[in-house]
Amino acid sequence: TSLRPMTADKDAEVPLHRHVHPTRFRQFVVFLVRGLLQRWRAKHLILLETFCLVGAAYLAILVDGVNDSMTSINMQYQFCMLMCLQFAVLMTLSAMRSFAENKLIFYRETSSGVSINSFFYAQNLLDLLEHGLQAAWVSAIHVDMRTTRVTFWNIFLLYQLSMWFCTGWGYIFSLIFPR
């Protein structure tokens, strides 16, 4: 007995084990749309994270006191380190949510043969946009509230690179540590 399906033409037999997967780009688009939908549903949490980052920036400004362009460079470095430290902690915690919430979906879909890279690139692109805008907002607050000797683009680049580094650690922590 054969396990192949009965067909009208005996020459046109289809094996049972063949499973057609969509292309990697199509999988990327599906994961991207799914991620956008998840972010739309969690918009209140994203706003809360953003307000925590902005509030922490204003809190650092209040703690540091009054500064102007004549403040010593050591005091400006100290303030910048304080801002970057709190930014790094909050950004890492925010990035951990991205893969921690989708860990079971990730394992289920990768065991069925879906591309791991498509899932990761879609999540990474959405996080890059979300956290990049948060980092831009914090850098704008930093430059606006402090008259520094450094240009906006240097501060902006500092926060963007910090965001990139901290989200990477957030991804690693969310995969290593259980929820």
User: What are the tokens at 61?
Assistant: 């400004």
Alpha carbon distance 177, 172 (integer Å) = 9
So what's the pLDDT on residue 1?
47
SS3 at position 117: helix
pTM of the model: 0.76
pLDDT tens track, the chain, 179 positions: 445 555 555 555 555 555 566 788 998 999 899 999 999 999 999 999 999 999 998 888 888 766 665 666 677 777 778 888 888 999 988 888 887 777 787 788 778 878 888 888 998 999 999 999 999 999 888 888 876 677 889 889 989 999 999 998 888 888 787 66
User: What's residue 40's pLDDT?
Assistant: 94
Which among 36, 56, 54 is positioned nearest to 98, based on CA atoms? 36
158/174 Cα distance (integer angstroms): 24
| Secondary structure of residue 155 in the 3-state scheme | helix
Residue 21 and residue 28 in contact, taking contact as beta carbons nearer than 8 Å: no
At residue 96, the pLDDT reads 86
HSE on the CB side for 173, CA within 13 Å?
15
Q: What is the pLDDT of residue 15?
A: 55
Q: Is 33 left (phi over 0), alpha (psi -120 to 50) or beta?
A: alpha
